[in-house]
Structure 1
Amino acid sequence: MSRRRSRGMSACHTEAVQQRRNTMKWIASMALALCAGGAFAADYPTRPITLIVPYGPGGTNDILARAIANKISPTLGQTVVVNNRPGAGGNIGAQQVATAEPDGYTLLLASSGVFAVNKWLYRSLRYDPAQAFAPVILAGSVPNVLIVDTGVPAKTLPELVKYAKSAQPSLNYASMGTGTSGHLCAELFKAQAGIKAEHIAYPGSAAALTALLGHQVQLMCDNLPTALPQIKAGRARALAVSSAERAPLLPDTPTVAESGFPGFDATAWFGIAAPAGTPAPIVERLNKEINAALQAPDVARILGEQGVSFRPNTPAQFSQFISAESAKWRDVIERTGSRAD
């Protein structure tokens, strides 16, 4: 018995020693990796950086990307090149970043669709945004504005709700495409207001606005910068903005929340991310540089002209924001049964 006990204790001791050795090896390897990552980050960047915009040139995403790239290139000591890769609601460009080396040399600037919506809209999506990207920064947001055809008698949001509930046949609303911020904003409003309105998707904001101005549809939620010229010209009537606060470009127009729907917030937003696995020191460096760039007077002026608002934030805060937005829009998409493929 004594000999057996001795053998058992010896085996336990050997196993414990081996576990300690394995643990020490793991700690040593992690320390080495962290040191290597820190050294790599200290030298970063040593070559040009590509900032992929998964949409065509000329839009708010593109304007924002180029303003940031021009501002951070001198401070990083390397050129940041903007590369437009449009297609499939942003999925083509996003997929390229998702599969890129996690070394900080391929970045993504995309809208809420890529980060929080497309996962629920596309059955064929080949990546999970929550797993594929390392969030860097929430680069800004733009409110949508709920506008109506001037033939609609409503002058306020409560009046529109009353009118919509009695309209026969039910109203039609336009969007710039299924799953866009304007489409989801309208669906969220419909659900909270308890009204019916038929969705008609158009290939872009210009076509949707043309339908509204041509009296083919009665209302739509559109990005404020796009709709503003028509509002100022009196060809469309703004009833409310979708952001939590009033928009500086339209200060006399109330928010949806102020108009009787507390907590309503449905903005179009833009964020920058790196491939998952990018060393934390690189992500932090990029966050620091972009935060500074977005607060520079010349960049702030460009953003203001586009109706973009920005508040400094961290990678962790952006990650939490993405999670909350993804959950919100998942519920809307599941309720409406919307699909893009």
Structure 2
Amino acid sequence: MTSRRTLLALASLFALMGTAQAQSAAEKQLASDKFTLVAPFPAGGAIDALARLLADGLAKRYDQTAIVENAPGGAGTIGMGKVKRAKADGHTLLVIPAGNLTINPTLMPKFPFDVQKDFVAVTMLATTPNVLVTHPKSGFKNVNDVIKAAKAKPGALFYASTGIGSGLHIAGELFKDQADIDIQHVAYKGSTPAINDLMAGTVPLMFGNLPTMLPHLESGRLVALGLTDRARTPNAPDIPTLAEQGVPGVVVPSWYGLLAPAGTPANVVDQLAKDMVEILAQPHVRDTLKAQGMTEWTMKPAAFDAHIRTETANWAKVIKARNITMD
């Protein structure tokens, strides 16, 4: 009996040593070169801000250079392509919103990737509500004002989003469907050019991420009309949901995730996921995210992969049932 216990104890010890060595090898691998975090949208938006926080954390964690490469265009596909083609060693990573992973595969007829085959899920990073906003001179004080104007002149109103296939595009299409109105979609290559046109009055409405919109809402340059979420957010408790204003069914919160190229070693992926937990748990990072309307939210790689698959299937049902198209 004693011999058997000794053997079991030794087996457990060797297993722990093997795990430690694997982690050590992963950390050594990650410390061997600089990091590039690809953000498939222009500088200035929520993705860019989040990527810079992560880059700073990785730079300090591994004493390596970590840069953010903004690669807008193609509804996120240009940035995704850069990561797909990158060396699968954990040094080139994709910071991307939910819509580009879970909506575009169904919405885009020629979506050029198989997310599960071309990338490996590392972890979810953060979540945030989306919000319908307008400029102060539009005359819209609430969602019902928008609906009345749209019904009075079908097709005359326009709403902006950060791009075709984004969760914000889908939020707009669901809003049209639920409110039974005809408003036209204008796709931009990111939030910055869309917000600039919104504030200039070129477009009267926009669906955007709360983190990106908060500074403009707080300054009075933009006006919030309603959240596309199930409940109000503590980060902006005065903004009502669309459902509160009589438009249910528009529940499109945003989340952001981290992916690596397919073929990235599992121990490196696991280490990166652990690094993200540590980075996002730091008080100054949490405070920065909260100030931007985001909440940190991490998952283990396998759970994140399953989440992407589930959301992709769910959005495919919505898109097909409502006949939502790229136009």
TM-score by length of 1: 0.75
The equivalences for 1:48-67 within 5 A come to 48-53=33-38, 54-67=40-53
- Cα distance between partner residues in 2 of 1:83 and 1:43: 25
CA RMSD of aligned residues (A): 3.2
1:234-274 Cα offsets, whole Å, 9 max, x none, are 45432211234423442111223444455643133321012
8 Å contact from structure 2 (residues 159, 183) kept in 1: no
Q: Give the superposition deviation at 1:338.
A: 0.5
- Cα distance between partner residues in 1 of 2:70 and 2:212: 22
Would you say 1:336 and 2:321 are equivalent positions? Answer: no
The equivalences for 1:53-202 within 5 A come to 53=38, 54-75=40-61, 77-79=62-64, 81-86=66-71, 87-150=73-136, 155-158=141-144, 160-161=146-147, 163-164=148-149, 166-175=151-160, 176-202=162-188
1:66/1:229 Cα in 2 relative to 1: closer, same or farther (>3 Å)? closer
8 Å contact from structure 1 (residues 155, 239) kept in 2: yes
Q: Which residue of 2 aligns with 1:300?
A: 286
- Cα distance between partner residues in 2 of 1:69 and 1:210: 27
Q: Which residue of 2 aligns with 1:319?
A: 305
Q: Give the superposition deviation at 1:297.
A: 0.5
2:24 aligned to which of 42, 46, 49: 42
1:135-166 Cα offsets, whole Å, 9 max, x none, are 111111232211235466654435544x1563
- Cα distance between partner residues in 2 of 1:233 and 1:101: 43
Q: Which residue of 1 aligns with 2:4?
A: none
Q: Give the 3-state SS of the residue equivalent to 1:254 in structure 2.
A: coil
1:287/1:258 Cα in 2 relative to 1: closer, same or farther (>3 Å)? farther
Q: Give the superposition deviation at 1:294.
A: 0.5
Q: Give the superposition deviation at 1:332.
A: 5.4
Q: Give the superposition deviation at 1:307.
A: 1.9
What percentage of aligned pairs have identical amino acids? Answer: 34
8 Å contact from structure 2 (residues 55, 66) kept in 1: yes
- Cα distance between partner residues in 2 of 1:319 and 1:329: 16
Q: Which residue of 2 aligns with 1:265?
A: 251
8 Å contact from structure 1 (residues 170, 198) kept in 2: yes
1:269-320 Cα offsets, whole Å, 9 max, x none, are 3210122343333222221221121111011122123222222322233223
Task: Give the total of aligned pairs.
Answer: 303
8 Å contact from structure 1 (residues 89, 113) kept in 2: no
8 Å contact from structure 2 (residues 123, 299) kept in 1: yes
1:121/1:170 Cα in 2 relative to 1: closer, same or farther (>3 Å)? closer
1:285/1:229 Cα in 2 relative to 1: closer, same or farther (>3 Å)? closer
Q: Give the 3-state SS of the residue equivalent to 2:285 in structure 1.
A: helix
Q: Give the 3-state SS of the residue equivalent to 2:47 in structure 1.
A: helix
1:174/1:207 Cα in 2 relative to 1: closer, same or farther (>3 Å)? farther
- Cα distance between partner residues in 2 of 1:96 and 1:210: 27
Q: Give the 3-state SS of the residue equivalent to 1:336 in structure 2.
A: coil
Gaps of 5+ in 1: 1-34
Q: Give the superposition deviation at 1:195.
A: 2.3
8 Å contact from structure 1 (residues 212, 218) kept in 2: yes
Q: Give the 3-state SS of the residue equivalent to 1:325 in structure 2.
A: helix
- Cα distance between partner residues in 2 of 1:102 and 1:207: 33
Q: Give the 3-state SS of the residue equivalent to 1:200 in structure 2.
A: strand
The equivalences for 1:199-214 within 5 A come to 199-214=185-200
1:102-152 Cα offsets, whole Å, 9 max, x none, are 433332222224322333344444321122121111111232211235466
**Amino acid paired to 2:325:** G
1:96/1:41 Cα in 2 relative to 1: closer, same or farther (>3 Å)? farther
**Amino acid paired to 1:43:** A
Q: Give the superposition deviation at 1:169.
A: 3.7
8 Å contact from structure 1 (residues 143, 267) kept in 2: yes
8 Å contact from structure 2 (residues 55, 68) kept in 1: no
